[in-house]
Chains A and B, each alone.
Chain A
Amino acid sequence: MAFVDLNDIRVSYDGKNDILKDLNLAMEKGELVSLLGPSGCGKTTTLRVIAGLIEPNDGTFTVDGTNLTKVPVHKRNFGMVFQSYALFPHLTIRENVGFGLRLRKEKKNRLIKKLRQCWK
């Protein structure tokens, strides 16, 4: 079994047309994978299934043998870079960068240290 496994994934937004159908994708740990295809072929949908932003209609998504198909987004511990940058407009740059760390209740001195490391 691969480290990241998408098995027979099916996604349909309207219940009639399948955006993804019988998608199988296996990725090993440390492997760099690029999804290439024309606009509308399902690249973003595949990433959203992996991130947990979309729950597939059928199929399973496992990581290191653990089934994450129905695990909520905030518990998956995946980082995602959005096409539209998705910066929080009401926060400063420092607060944007530290947003995830604050959610994990990082101690202030460790938070500042990590933020400084980001700036380098």
Chain B
Amino acid sequence: MRKEKGLTFFVSLVYAFLFIPLFIIVVTSFGENPTIQFPIEGFSFKWYANVFENAAFADSFLLSLKIAFFATVLALLVGIPASYALARNNFMGREWLKNFFLSPTIIPGVVVGYSLFQFIVITLQLPVFQGLLLGHFLVSLPYIIRVVGGSLEQLDFSIEEAAWTLGSTKAGAFFKVILPNITSGIFASFMLAFINSFNNIPVSQFLSGPGISTLPTALMSYVEYNYDPTVSALSVMLMLATIVLMYLIEKTLGLSSIT
């Protein structure tokens, strides 16, 4: 009993450590004072209005949306066939290849960002948008492979073989039998990769260029010269959007299956 009380207290401290900063951000976003302060004085929505009036935020939001969407779609186009090949075939080096695909999630973000900077900006000299797209595609791909791969590992492939015996080609069976049975995994992986790309800072920081930056990097630049609650308001909006997307993932596939 004493042990359980102690554990409960410890868990409560951990949750407090995680959620108190978020709570403070939410509260400060409604303050009237032009600087971030806690506790707040007055109550106002003007900082939320300020977010929409700031052209830099609007432009960077659209850019983040485009980059996240197209990078995730590209990652799906490459990741789904890759996951299928990894799940369906037993070949030498399969586990190594799987770990290689998942490595961008293990390597520190700054290292990934710097490496991509050297390769994409210095070596390939790609334009900023294309560079950002390629960088975000590379960091989104592991999420697709991991989640879709998880769905495929739970699939009974005898249904695919049954389709072959009934006269379906391998490509036909993939589109008519395999894909319909992993749609929830595809949807969940899209959401997860999209969120990861949208919120990504290290890769965006290294690959952004003059006048072209994603929303997280625009936010960081804003904080360097301004310390008003607009930052808090934007952070709250991003948190809410992330919560909605994670809720959708939970409803379709369940968060436990992707962790």
Contacts and interface: CB of A to CB of B under 8 A. Distances in A.
Interface string B63-79: 00000000000000000
B168 A87 contact: no
B162 interface: yes
A86 B173 CA distance: 13
Identify the 3 closest CB pairs spanning chains A and B, nearest first: A100-B166, A86-B162, A73-B164
Contact of A84 (B158, B165, B168): B158
B158 A79 contact: no
Contacts of B172: 103
Nearest to B180: A90
B156 interface: yes
Contact of B159 (A73, A89, A100): A89
Contacts of B164: 52-53, 72-74
A72 B167 CA distance: 10
A76 B177 CA distance: 20
A51 B170 CA distance: 14
Contacts, number: 57
A99 interface: yes
13 contacts: A53-B161, A72-B169, A73-B161, A74-B169, A78-B165, A80-B165, A82-B161, A83-B158, A84-B156, A84-B158, A86-B156, A90-B180, A103-B167
A104 interface: yes
A103 B168 contact: yes
Contacts of A53: 161, 164-165
A80 to B, nearest CB: 5
A79 B166 CA distance: 7
Interface in A22-54: 51-53
A80 B162 contact: yes
B62 to A, nearest CB: 36
Contacts of A52: 164-165
Given A89-B181, A90-B180, A90-B181, A99 B158 contact: no
A89 B167 CA distance: 18
B163 interface: yes
B162 A74 contact: no
Contact of A88 (B159, B165, B167, B170): B159
Interface in B137-182: 156, 158-159, 161-170, 172, 177, 180-181
B213 to A, nearest CB: 43
A99 B166 contact: yes
Nearest to A99: B166
Contacts of B170: 74
A104 to B, nearest CB: 6
Given A76-B165, A84-B156, 10 more contacts: A53-B161, A53-B165, A73-B165, A77-B167, A79-B165, A82-B161, A87-B159, A99-B163, A103-B166, A103-B167
Contacts of B161: 51, 53, 73, 80, 82, 86
Nearest to B166: A100
A86 B159 contact: yes
Contacts of B162: 80, 82, 86, 88
Nearest to A91: B180
A73 B180 CA distance: 22
Nearest to A89: B181
